[in-house]
Structure 1
Amino acid sequence: MNQRTFFEFCVERNPDRVAVIDRNKQLTYVELNEKVNRVASALQKLGLRKQERVMVLLKNRIETVVLYWAVQKLGAIFTPVNFRLSLENIKYCIHDVEPKIVIFEESSEHLITKETFIERPIFIGISNKSELSDVGYNELVNYGSISYREESITDQDISILYYTSGTTGVPKGVPRSHNNEYSATTAHVIQFGTQPFDKTLGAAPLYHVIGLRSLQAMTALNGVFVVLADFDSFESLQMIDQEKISCLFLTPTMYHDLVFHPTAKEVDFPHLHTIVYSGSPMSKELIKKCDEVLRPKWFINLYGSTEIYTFAYCRDVREKPGSAGKPGFHQNIRLIPVASDKEAPVKGVVSQGEVGEIVVNMESPEAFKGYWNRPDLTRDHIFDGWYFTGDLGVVDQDGDLTIVGRADDMIISGGENIYPELIEKVLMEHPQVNEVAIIGELDERMGQIVVAYIVSKDQTLTFHELDRYCKYNHEIPSYKRPRKYEFVETIPRSSGGKILRNTLRKGHLINDK
């Protein structure tokens, strides 16, 4: 099913229910559809055609929701870009995608100039005051009619072009078809037990798969998408309470800021039945705190990617903290030897309890077909019908998967393989540690040594205290103990919450005690 048909079916099913709330503005499904049609009509009159790209540099707002569905109705490609990327990466995305239309707001206007583009696009500003705009958003709504010329859209046409945050090198373009997005939304609803007329907080950005999947899932269930332009823990707590939010899909960092906010204990959450996290691991301490404060019926960890939405999921991490669970509804995965040369991965499966690289079956309807304009990357990651994630994992006696790190983050010290996330997990359980990241540092004798970057909760924490803590922890053998500790103010992370280890390796944030 294509996204246009999907959306229109949802509108007809419950036209008068509220679809989206943005502060003091709200639209029912029928009102949203009318705005979507008007904007689609106006974009078509501006010359937008099927499979042309619409670059969107917007925060979460009601206009972003309207624009997403309008672009889907025309069969064009919605291309949301994280405008918090560096100017160099923004320019890369612009040249890579060659947009027909660029839509921006006041906070992102400084990133673009008419000279940046090889072929000048049409500029649409959310504010009518912008001098860069060829047309303002309000003019689109007023200019468009309630009908437009429908293009023939197939399930395999590209629906959206995501750009990953680029933890190494430039951002990667990930084109996903209408069928990919529909299948991922279906899996989301089934796996997470979301219910008709649920309400979610749209706090994760809509340029990220977490944000957009939340919107799509609420639409599928005629639920309510409550927009939050900038994540703020205090405002989020208020909105969860006031809007009777019933399900959340956020990053661990967002949950941390929510449940440790001083006012969290003053808020009751009687309507919240499900919380889902993705993007990075969650510590035992944070799992316990989320359970105490939010008291969800279901507490779910999703392990997946932009390229293939679901790899695996754990329905309740309280029972097995850190577990990624079992393969998703549409999915089949294997663990192969880390040193594999990509020959017949289905035959080279590691034993239970042994660390291996996670490969994912490309027959899943959630799986993309390859990277945008990057056949080299596609060859590196897709082989013989399997997607090579670069993640390392281990399967326990119950058949549940645990992620232990990245193959390219693996530290080899004295001939021993050391996985950063295992050490991070232990250090996060120290009562004075707020955040931690582990990297390998070159060493003439050992090849590499383990270095821990620590964000402490107070100024009394020392190297000796942490070394003693690791020394007497049975989960960390002596050869895995950090040999250096760097105390920093923050751990650099991507918009999805993943640790940017390359930034740490460059030493940008060192602040020794």
Structure 2
Amino acid sequence: MLDLGTSLLASVERDPNALAISDGDLDLTYGEWFAKISALVDGLDAMGLKQGDHVVTVMQNRWENASLHWACQLAGIVITPINWRAKPDEIDYALADSEAKALFYQDVSAEAVAESGKAQNLPRVIAGDAEGGAHSLNDMLAAKAADATPQASADDWSLMLYTSGTTSRPKGVPRRHRAERAAAIAHVAQNLYRHGERTLGVMPLYHTMGVRSLLATSLIGGAFVCLRRFDVEGALRAIETKKVTNLYLVPTLYHDILHHKAFSKERVASVTKLGFAGASMTDGLMKKLNEAFQPELFVNHYGSSEVYTCTIDQKAPLKPGSAGRSGLNQMIRVVPLGANDAETRAKPGEEGEIVASLKGDEAFEGYWKRPEATAKSLRDGWYFTGDTGYFDEDGDLFVTGRADDMIITGGENVSPVEVESCLSLHPAVEEVAVVGLPDERWGKVVTAFVKRSRLVAEADLDAHCKTSGLANFRRPRAYVFVDQIPKSPVGKLLRRMLVSGDFEAEKTAPSGNDAQHS
């Protein structure tokens, strides 16, 4: 198996004059881009960064970020991307946990970086002009250098993504070059990508879907068309002007594109293949997309940061809700809930936990510095995903939810515990429970069920979440006031009753002078 640096070099030699990356008015061929990436490799070396070091990035999908990803693969540096909307304490955590040697960021994350205590003790590099003690990433890219020579092997670490668990303490998912390249090859094969295809690079490069799009595009001598931050006008303009041929998005973005006033079949005529992952898609949205795009291929991809591909359904509209069958590099089973091994299998139609083989070429090997999480999830050669689902009589997988109540909204993971903790600090909130309710646009919408101790409006609770520093995508989009939060006889919160609608809304609103209950 090639390392990723050598893989990129092979693509450069194969298609030096093909369009490799586009960002607004900037278009670079593989030959032109490799020259800039090589200069960046030199720049990383000049910073004193060594093979195996981690660097944290807090950036949007811009060409500089994609260039940095490839430079790290060539230099053998472990790129560790986090959400560009990260708060200062989240940046602190990522820097400390990954033992990062440098931080790369841009204007939209500059304020958070400035407020990060850990960041001040590290070399900082900003996309744009140097400022505030940070070096300029663009100056590094503009320098002259000899063509870079790949320094990593296929068994070296490539990147580390962060994924959240029920406690919301992010877990690092380190992945080797060989696993990353195997996942990219499978992505090409399972989505039937042809040589020279162009993809819309809008899924964030801190997310497994974004990274996969970048790597897969390089394998086929295709173009990665950057969209720094999703907006429908920008997406449609990029699709139309750059003749994008395939889309790989979360359902929320498809919803927004399809329902926008600027959408027309003519503007997306170049798109022949649709793929989605990251969340479930409603039957209604799938039907509308199929009618609007009339794609040659419509793929439902079910996977994770840990094991990129679990299952694939290449004919998603024919069986809405089906996640299909095991991917090229994978074996999938469903075991009874609570099972400790993968040998006892659930019957067809019986809901259980989905487990994936760790022998698959795309699989990770354990969480970064989290032995307890590794021991919980990795057992006897199988990865226990924490997802629930079942096989139907045909052998197709249906994913029904998360065993740990994680909410996936717009492709982002939201822990209800974190949102509940935030809202519980409001003086008018006596009790609160947060769940994800089905929504055509978001997949799931974060919904807070609140028992009030005194009169408070939804707007006041939303303002509280904002001022408390809760990230925007984690804030509830809906509030329901109730007289009681459903619980079991031993006091355990029964989220499933809220999801199913088995609750009673508040009958009489409390007065503004009501005292808080103890």
Number of the residue aligned with 2:398: 402
Deviation at 1:121, TM superposition (A): 2.2
- Residues 166, 404 of structure 2: 8 Å contact kept: no
Distance between the aligned counterparts of 1:127 and 1:438, measured in 2? 39
Would the aligned equivalents of 2:280 and 2:443 in 1 still touch at CA under 8 Å?
no
Secondary structure at the counterpart of residue 309 of structure 2:
coil
Q: 1:123 to 1:273 in 2, by over 3 A?
A: same
Query: What is aligned with 1:443?
Result: 487
Which residue number in structure 2 is paired with residue 326 of structure 1? 325
Once the two structures are TM-superposed, the CA of residue 167 in structure 1 deviates from its matched residue by 6.0
In 1, the alpha carbon distance for the partners of 2:369 and 2:274 equals 36
The TM-score normalised by the length of structure 2 is 0.80
* Other structure's SS at 2:257 match: helix
Flag the 1:281–1:115 CA change in 2: closer, same or farther, 3 A: closer
Residue 300 of structure 1: how far off its partner (Å):
0.8
Q: What does 1:304-383 correspond to in 2, within 5 Å?
A: 304-340=303-339, 342=340, 344-346=341-343, 348-383=344-379
Superposition deviation, residue 388 in structure 1: 0.4
For residue 5 of structure 1, what is the aligned residue in structure 2?
6
305-314 or 87-96, which deviates more: 87-96
What is the aligned partner in structure 1 of residue 295 from structure 2?
296
| Offset at residue 84 of structure 1 (A) | 1.5
Deviation at 1:65, TM superposition (A): 1.4
Which residue pairs with 1:495 in the alignment?
none
> Does the 8 Å contact 2:92/2:119 carry over to 1?
no
Distance across 2 between alignment mates of 1:395 and 1:175: 30
Answering whether residue 18 of structure 2 is matched by residue 22 of structure 1, we say no
Take 2:488 and 2:98, find their aligned partners in 1: how far apart are those partners? 44
SS at match of 1:276: strand
Decide whether the 8 Å contact of 2:113 with 2:119 is kept in 1. Answer: no
SS of alignment partner, residue 179 of structure 1 = helix
> What's the offset of the Cα at 1:128?
1.6
1:331 Cα deviation from its structure 2 partner: 0.4
1:172-230 residue CA offsets vs partner (Å, 9 max, x unmatched): 11100000100000110111111110011111111111111111111100011110001
1:240 Cα deviation after fit: 1.2
**Aligned equivalent of 2:502:** 482
SS at match of 2:237: helix
Residue 222 of structure 1 is matched in structure 2 by: 221
How far apart, in 2, do the equivalents of 1:307 and 1:80 lie?
A: 15
Deviation for aligned residue 1:305: 0.1
> Is the 1:439–1:451 contact (alpha carbons within 8 Å) kept by the matching residues of 2?
no
Normalising to structure 1: TM-score of the pair?
A: 0.80
Q: Aligned partner of 1:146: which letter?
A: A
Q: Does the aligned pair in 2 maintain the 1:326–1:400 contact within 8 Å?
A: yes
- Report the Cα offset of residue 131 of structure 1: 1.2
Structure 1 residues 333 and 26: CA distance shift in structure 2, 3 A:
same
SS of residue in 1 equivalent to 2:200: strand
1:165 offset after TM fit, Å? 4.8
State the secondary structure of the residue aligned to 2:17. Answer: coil
**2:238 corresponding residue in structure 1:** 239
> Are the equivalent residues in 2 in contact too, given 1:304–1:312 (CA < 8 A)?
yes
Write the letter of the residue equivalent to 1:21: S
Partners of 2:379 and 2:232 lie apart in 1 by: 42
Identity of aligned residues (%): 34
3-state SS of paired residue (1:409): coil
Measured in 1, the distance between the counterparts of 2:442 and 2:379 equals: 41
3-state SS in 1 of match to 2:195: coil
> Partner amino acid for 1:385?
G
User: Deviation at 1:138?
Assistant: 2.8
Tell me the CA shift for residue 364 of structure 1: 0.5
Range that drifts further, 2-11 or 77-86: 77-86
Counterpart of 2:509 in structure 1 is none
Cα distance in 2 for residues equivalent to 1:195 and 1:148: 28
- Is the alpha carbon distance of 1:280 and 1:146 closer, same or farther for their aligned partners in structure 2, counting shifts above 3 Å? same
CA distance 1:398–1:168, shift in 2 (3 Å)? same
Pairwise CA distance, 1:88 = 2.3
Q: Which residue of 2 aligns with 1:282?
A: 281
Task: Say if 1:53 and 1:98, in contact at 8 Å, map to a contact too.
Answer: yes
Relative distance call for 1:78 and 1:240 in structure 2 (3 A) is: same
Q: Give the aligned partner of residue 252 of structure 1.
A: 251
Aligned length: 439
1:147-171 deviation per Cα after TM superposition (whole angstroms, max 9, x unaligned): 45653x2212100011125564211
Report the 3-state secondary structure (helix = DSSP H, G, I; strand = E; otherwise coil) of the residue aligned with 1:311.
Answer: strand
SS of residue in 1 equivalent to 2:486: strand
8 A contact 1:237–1:267 mirrored in 2:
no
Distance 2:447 2:359 in 1: 35
Distance 1:449 1:211 in 2: 32
Partner-residue secondary structure (3-state), 2:121: coil
Deviations 1:47-79 (A, max 9, x none): 111010121111111111111111111111111
The residue type paired with residue 103 of structure 1 is F
- Provide the C-alpha distance between the structure 2 equivalents of 1:315 and 1:71, rounded to a whole number of angstroms: 33
The letter of the residue matching 2:110 is E
How far 1:442 moved relative to its partner?
A: 3.1
1:146 and 1:385 map into 2 onto residues whose CA distance is: 44
Q: How far is 1:101 from its partner?
A: 1.6
Residues 266 and 367 of structure 1: CA distance in aligned 2, closer, same or farther (over 3 Å): closer
Q: Which amino acid aligns with 2:281?
A: M
Range 318-327 or range 136-145, more displaced: 136-145
Counterparts of 2:64 and 2:97 in 1: how far apart (Å)? 25
* Pair 1:97–1:358, CA change in 2 (3 A): same
Matches within 5 A, 1:153-192: 153-165=152-164, 168-192=167-191
- What residue number does 1:109 align with? 110
Partners of 1:324 and 1:177 lie apart in 2 by 26
Alpha-carbon distance in structure 2 between the residues aligned to 1:199 and 1:96: 36
User: CA 1:223/1:269 → structure 2, altered by over 3 Å: closer, same or farther?
Assistant: same
Q: Is the 8 A contact 1:451 1:484 kept in 2?
A: no
Counterpart in the other structure of 1:468: none
Cα distance in 2 for residues equivalent to 1:301 and 1:409? 22
